[in-house]
Amino acid sequence: MAWELLFWLYAFASVIGLVALTAYQLICLSDLEYDYINPYDSSARINAVVIPEFVVQGALCTLLFLTWHWFPFLLMAPVTYYHIRLFMERKHHIDVTEIFRVLNVEKKYRMVKLALYFIIFFIVIYSLVVSAIVLLLDEHEMESVTF
């Protein structure tokens, strides 16, 4: 049962990382929209965190599948598929010359991802607390057994 707790701790850290990376990308896009940053810097900053986000999200989705946590896996699977498709088509980076044309679409895409990551975040917190309580109760039962 300790492995379950360690898994949810890893999932908690991963989801916090995903939320932070997506929020960072949204901030970069908002700064570009309000002309606080130039298009080159904005696209360079966003492109620098796209691959780490894809890797963390794919690893978490794979672990959810391998540990048979179906509900969070089914929530993350479409985004994972979309990330894989973007990467295979080489459309995962934002082009500097077209960033203003796709600005609203990119912001909406990242807002949807952020909402999904927050849903996963609450599921992970709930599962983390439940697994910690079950682990503590199991340890307490073992201590009360006398031989």
Give the pLDDT confidence of 63-98 residue by residue, as tens digits.
Answer: 999 999 999 999 999 999 999 999 999 999 999 999
Give the pLDDT confidence of 39-56 residue by residue, as tens digits.
Answer: 999 999 999 999 999 999
Q: What are the residues whose beta carbons fall under 8 Å from the beta carbon of 103, sequence distance 6 or more?
A: 29, 32, 33
| Domain ranges across the chain | 2-141
Distance CA 130, CA 125 (A): 9
Q: What is the pLDDT of residue 144?
A: 63
Helix pair angle (70-88, 39-66), 10° resolution:
140
Give the pLDDT confidence of 109-137 residue by residue, as tens digits.
Answer: 999 999 999 999 999 999 999 999 998 88
Distance CA 4, CA 12 (A): 12
Q: What is the pLDDT of residue 143?
A: 66
pLDDT of residue 1 exceeding 70, the answer is no
Q: What is the pLDDT of residue 71?
A: 94
